[in-house]
Amino acid sequence: MKIQFVLLSKFLPLPSQQSLHCTFCKLSHFSNQSAFSGEMAEPLRPDIQIKVHSRRGLGGGSVIHPVEIESSPTPLLRGTTVTAGNQSQTPSPFREIKHFKKWLPWLIPCFVIADTVLFIITMYVNDCPKNSVSCVATFLKRLSFQPFKENPLLGPSSSALEKMGALDVSRVVDGHQGWRLITCIWLHGGLLHLLANMLSLLVIGIRLEQEFGFIHIGLLYVISGFGGSLLSALFLQSNISVGASGAVFGLLGAMLSELITNWTIYANKMAALVTLVIIIVINLAVGILPHVDNFAHLGGFSSGFLLGFVFLMRPQFGWVSQRYAAPSAYSRSGAKPKYKTYQRVLWILSLILVVAGMIAGLVSLLRGVDLNDHCSWCHYMSCVPTSRWSCNTDPVTCMSEQTGNQFTLTCSNSNKNSTYLLTNPNSSQLRSLCSQLCR
């Protein structure tokens, strides 16, 4: 799930209120690994039985038989014999079936390394001792964190994130900086934010990359992150946004669509489906908390769900068994298709929906459309106000008055004011003080 925190308020005339996406790290994941083995009890046994041991189901070691048992004589491999006693026998071609290749995961760890390096660079650019009156962990010197009141996640200021490529709708629309829709998913608003997202990415992403390869998972991750940024920009236009949570939610959505499109390979199908849906609902439910960008969650999840039908489709077992059988074993009944009809239909529909949706969303964003104007209740999907918190995310500004070395800041939203003794403060220091005053 993605959590959005407003870290830094706006100081006239520079808009810089920040929204962060933070995914809880304890996300349950169904292993996508499946081992397939076929055996014959006797070399000349007339029936062939293929056993599929799937760790995907909740039952762990449950056995399913998705391939029909053939009644025809066992096919023999020409030119291959074994000796048993005084007789020569031909071994079964179904000795072992391993259809799904085991990929070595390297792309997801590279994503984690890249995000970590970019966070360090962001902290270097932030330079808290120079641009803020006080810092946290000053022993880190230039890499020290902004004050807790300004950034409770142990991270940089929003102005530093803007310099690094955070999603700012005004810059995308008016400044033609559409690249921010991609760069924002590689940035994080704090050390805690980074740890939560990266742990979630490792738990989910490595398993998926092991099964489907780096190309499919890499494309799914980046496109889902773009979809999350796009929907967030269409609804939340007064905040800046960073975080990989939209992309991580895309992987979670792809797990659900993979379960649906490859339904026939699962043992305990309903148990696996219900458990995965509960995990997704709990993660999305966190989005009703204040400063949580649930639109990025929903955009990333929806994109990943549709892309899962496109990138994570598996061949059916009947086609798998043919690849290991002699031609005489299935020539009488005809070759089985590689994919079922419903898999092909879902593939086509999902591809059309994801392409059309992203084109329509991007065109609407570049035209300056605010979807809140067309949906008066949609803001409740991102925050539900209660007596304990407010969902107000209006930009925070401060008025400044100077008398010698005394600077009096007045928060525009709450009219709170405070006086500080400063010697030639720069704009970054004043913005930092304004953020702490208005929180």
Q: Which of 267, 329, 266, 236 is nearest to 40 (CA)?
A: 329
**Catalytic one of 144, 229, 245, 432:** 245
For residue 421, list its beta bridge partners: 406
**Catalytic one of 193, 216, 297, 379:** 297
Distance (Å, rounded) from C-alpha 197 to C-alpha 130? 29
Active site residue 193: no
Active site residue 297: yes
Which class for 240: exposed (0-12), middle (13-18), buried (19 or more C-beta within 10 A)?
Answer: buried
The length of the chain in residues reads 439
Distance (Å, rounded) from C-alpha 232 to C-alpha 228? 6
Hey, what are 211's tokens? Answer: 């099964």
Distance (Å, rounded) from C-alpha 207 to C-alpha 42? 36
The tokens 């499109």 sit on which residue?
261
Residue 68 near residue 246, CB atoms below 8 Å = no
Catalytic residue numbers, as ranges: 245, 297
